[in-house]
Amino acid sequence: MLDRFLSLITDLTEGPQEAFGDDDYRLAAAALLVHVMAVDGRVSDTERARIEAVLASGFALSAADTGRLIERAIDAEASADSWTSFADLLAKRLDEDGRRRIVDMMWSVVLADGAAAELEEAVVERAAALMGVEAPRR
């Protein structure tokens, strides 16, 4: 009960919250990051922390909004027919520099634990191809 009260106080003092609709490119980017984090069957605290840092700095989000975005991304990724739909949305909504930035975010998450699994690399490369940008190995 104390946790819920503290959460309410935090929400009230932080000001307006970001809304992350289904057509929000930030949600699509976060869902891709969640997918690439989990695709190898292991989710480390380091990868989770990297996603938080990348999204917060990449989209200028508060810690609370970053947490909400990640929660929405987990739900979106789990309910999507295919992760490629997120790459398709990003291809339509972002310019080339923006799409490259998303690929860089993906590499950052993949390499957070020190090594890239083959499946993780394949997802980044396929997502980059769907977005029409190169995915040079980092």
CATH code: domain of residue 59: 1.10.3680.10
What is the spatial distance between Cα 47 and Cα 111, in angstroms, rounded to a whole number? Answer: 8
Residue 119 lies in a domain: yes
What is the spatial distance between Cα 11 and Cα 138, in angstroms, rounded to a whole number? Answer: 38
Total-model pTM? 0.84
pLDDT averaged over every residue in the chain: 88
Residue 75 lies in a domain: yes
Q: Which residues are CB-contacts of 10 (< 8 A; sequence separation ≥ 6)?
A: 64
pLDDT at position 10: 54
Residue 50 lies in a domain: yes
Which tens digits make up the pLDDT trace of 104-120?
999 999 999 888 889 99
Q: Where are the alpha helices (DSSP H) in 80-117?
A: 84-93, 96-110
Number of domains in the chain: 1
Residue 27 lies in a domain: yes
Q: Which structural domain range is residue 68 located in?
A: 22-131
Which tens digits make up the pLDDT trace of 29-60?
999 999 999 998 888 899 999 999 999 999 99
Residue 11 lies in a domain: no
What is the spatial distance between Cα 72 and Cα 27, in angstroms, rounded to a whole number? Answer: 7
Neighbours of 44 (CB within 10 A): 13
